[in-house]
Structure 1
Amino acid sequence: MDIFQRDLAGLGVDAREEEFATEMLPRIKEAQKILAKLNNGYHDEKQTREILEELMHKKLDSSLWVLPPFYTDYGRNITLGKNVFINQGCTFMDRGGIFIGNDVYIAPKVNIITINHDLNPYKRTITYCKPVYIEDRVWIGIGAIILAGVRVGENSIVGAGAVVTKDVPKNCIVGGNPARVLKTLTDIAK
C-alpha cells in the first residue's frame, strides 16, 4: 500500500518518512503552484474551472462556480457534483477525500478539513485522514468548519461559524461550537 492509499484509508502518515518527502510533498507543491495561478489575477468561470480541473486531475461539470481565492492542500481528492457554488476564501484540506453532492452552496471562508494529527505530542508529525461527505442540497454558512469524518445529510443547513464535529442528520439546521441540531426542516417543498 503506497502513501496515498494509506492516507485515504485513514492509516497514519508520518511527515518524516521518506515516501512523504519523495511522493506526497511534490504533489502538495504542485497543488500550491496551480493555486497560485488560480488565486492571482482575474479568471472568468470557464478559466477558473479549467484551472481547477488541472488541480483536481478530473473533468468538472460546467455548472460548477467557484469564486477565488480557493485553498487546498492537495486537490486530487475533491469530488464535486452538479450546481455546486463555492464562495471566496474557502479551504478544503482534502487528503482524506471530500465528496460534495449536487446543488450545494458553500459560503465564504468555509473550512472542510479531512486530516488530524496524532494526539501524542511526541508523534504529532503523524497525520490521520477521514473523508467528509456533503450530501445534495446542503447550504454551509459563512465561516463554518467541517471536521474529518463528518457527513452532512441532504437538505441540511450548517449555520455561520458552526464547528461540525459529528454527522449532521438530513433535513435540519445545525449551529454552534460544537454544532448541534437547532431545528428540523419539516416543510420541504420539491
Structure 2
Amino acid sequence: MNLAELLEYIGNGEPLIAGTEAFACMERYSHEAMRLTAELNGAYHTPDAVRDFMARITGREIDPAFRLFPPFYTDFGKNIRLGRNVFINACCCFQDQGGITVGDNALIGHRVTLATINHGLRPEERGVHHLAPIVIGKNVWIGSGAILLPGVRIGDGAVVAAGAVVRSDVDAACVAGGVPAKIIRRIS
C-alpha cells in the first residue's frame, strides 16, 4: 500500500487495525515523521527552514506566512493540511492519522493537542484505531493546553479557551471552554 492508497482508505472512514497492510503503511510514515520532528526539534532553525521541515513532514507546500515555534510533535504528518498565515506555538501535538485541517489565519497556542484516533473500548479491540478528522476553520484561536478530540469541527472565528477539552463541534463566532467544553458566549 502506498501513501495515496492509505489516505484514501482513511478518508473512507476505515479503521486502522494492527497487523494489517494499512497499519504497516501508516507505521512507515510514522517513523519518517518521528525522524523529521526529531531533527526539527533538535536545534534552532530559521523560519524558512522550519517551513521546509513542515513541507517534508506533511508532504505539502507550506504558505510563506506560516509560522511555527518548535518543538512540534506529530506521529504521522501526512494528513495535516495547513491554510495561509497559520501560527502554531511551542509544544503542540498533532495526532493526524484521521486528518487535521487548519484554516487560514488560525492561531494555535502552546501545548495544544489535536487527537484524531480513538482505540476500541474493549481490551480485545484496543488494536483497532477509529479515525475521525479535526477541522479548524478560518480565523480560529485555540488557547494553550486545549485538547480537541476526534471528529470535532471548530467554526470560523471561534475561540477555544485555554485548557478546554473539546469533544463536540464549536459553532462559528463562539467562545467554548471547560471540561468538557461548552459554548460560553457568542462573539459579536
Is 1:117 paired with 2:119?
A: yes
Q: Quick check: 2:7–2:79 contact (8 Å CA) kept in 1?
A: no
Which of 12, 15, 19 pairs up with 1:12? Answer: 15
Q: Quick check: 1:7–1:128 contact (8 Å CA) kept in 2?
A: no
Q: Quick check: 2:16–2:22 contact (8 Å CA) kept in 1?
A: no
> Aligned equivalents of 2:110 and 2:173: distance in 1?
22
Residue identity opposite 1:65 in structure 2: R
> Aligned equivalents of 1:75 and 1:67: distance in 2?
17
Residue identity opposite 1:16 in structure 2: G
Deviations 1:139-170 (A, max 9, x none): 00000001111000111100000000000001
Q: 1:10 to 1:19 in 2, by over 3 A?
A: closer
* 1:65 alignment counterpart: 67
Aligned with 2:38: secondary structure? Answer: helix
* 2:159 alignment counterpart: 157
> Aligned equivalents of 2:54 and 2:28: distance in 1?
18
Instruction: Could you tell me which runs of 5 or more consecutive residues in structure 1 were left unpaired when the two chains were aligned.
Output: none
Instruction: Could you tell me which runs of 5 or more consecutive residues in structure 2 were left unpaired when the two chains were aligned.
Output: none
* 1:175 alignment counterpart: 177
Which of 27, 37, 40 pairs up with 1:38? Answer: 40
Q: Quick check: 2:134–2:152 contact (8 Å CA) kept in 1?
A: yes
* 1:142 alignment counterpart: 144
Residue identity opposite 1:70 in structure 2: F
Q: Normalising to structure 2: TM-score of the pair?
A: 0.94
Quote the RMSD (CA, aligned, Å).
1.3
Q: 1:19 to 1:76 in 2, by over 3 A?
A: closer
Percent identical residues: 41
* 1:47 alignment counterpart: 49
Q: Quick check: 1:4–1:24 contact (8 Å CA) kept in 2?
A: no
Aligned with 2:175: secondary structure? Answer: strand
Q: 1:61 to 1:137 in 2, by over 3 A?
A: same
Residue identity opposite 2:186 in structure 1: T
